[in-house]
Amino acid sequence: MISGVIADAVVPVTRDSPAELIVKHEEFRAMIERLSSNTLYEEAVIVLLVPTVRSFSPLLIIQVERMLPNPLPFGQSLLLIWPHLTSLIALSSLCFAISYIKFMREEIRST
């Protein structure tokens, strides 16, 4: 929900906005949403389970018509979600490191 509000504030869109501005708005909203591990995981799973998915960004009708109807091989799907997997591992490592440092800095006394 917050990503939509931020995208509306940064890239405002009206009914009469050109297609380029609407696509820019949606790409910005998606970029904000990808800061969440839930969105990263969801997109990665969709690409692996539905091999006909070829892009994460909004597509124009002309782009969809030019795409091949064949599903992507598993290796190509992994190449598509490689940034997602890297981000998920980095976010998990960061959370673990922060909690470990906090734990180690606490004073532990024996009673």
Q: 71 in a domain, yes or no? A: yes
User: pLDDT tens digits for 53-91?
Assistant: 666 655 555 555 555 566 778 888 888 889 889 999 999
Q: Give me the number of domains the chain comprises.
A: 1
Please indicate, yes or no, whether the overall pTM of this predicted structure exceeds 0.85: no
Burial of 22 (0-12, 13-18, 19+ CB in 10 A): middle
Q: How far is the C-alpha of 7 from the C-alpha of 46, rounded, in Å?
A: 24
Q: 42 in a domain, yes or no? A: yes
Q: 57 in a domain, yes or no? A: yes
Q: What is the mean pLDDT of the chain?
A: 81
pLDDT of 40? 86
